[in-house]
Amino acid sequence: MISNRDGLAEKVYLLGMQQQKYVVVRLKMLQLNSLQARSLSYIFLHPGTIQREIADYLGKKQATVTNVLKGLEERKLVYREIPKDNERQKNIFLTAEGEQLVAQVNLIFEQLDQKVRNGLTKEEQEQLEINLTKAQKNFEAN
């Protein structure tokens, strides 16, 4: 019998916690939390997005996203534009400073990915990706 501490799920959990700590420490140096960083990355990939789309992506309530965006606006990392054809909607864009910060955030995640891959052969990396995808699908089925 495998104890909870020896199981594969426990190892995946611990790795996730280590990754989270790695990212949080580095984001803190940029004066960002994970919601702010994920919001900036989403806006970078979807310029002109609206708040509801960001909330859906983050899996958070719109009120939470309102506060996140308000803080990013105050720091002049994002700005909102009201389109001429829909005065009730506000499209969200990154400022130049926001774009620079996204580049630093992306670098953190590239370094994290490299840290996970270090010490693994190309074949081991490919097999790990296959196995993790299979494990993830086990949760999607339920």
- Per-residue pLDDT tens over the stretch 37-81: 999 999 999 999 999 999 999 999 999 999 999 999 999 999 999
Q: How do the domains of the chain map onto residue ranges?
A: 13-140
User: What would the pLDDT profile of 90-136 be if each residue is shown by its tens digit?
Assistant: 999 999 999 999 999 999 999 999 999 999 999 999 999 999 999 99
Orientation of helix 34-45 relative to helix 62-74, angle to 10°: 80
Distance CA 13, CA 120 (A): 20
Asked if 98 and 72 touch (Cβ cutoff 8 Å), the reply is yes
The topology (CATH level 3) of 13-140 is Arc Repressor Mutant, subunit A (1.10.10)
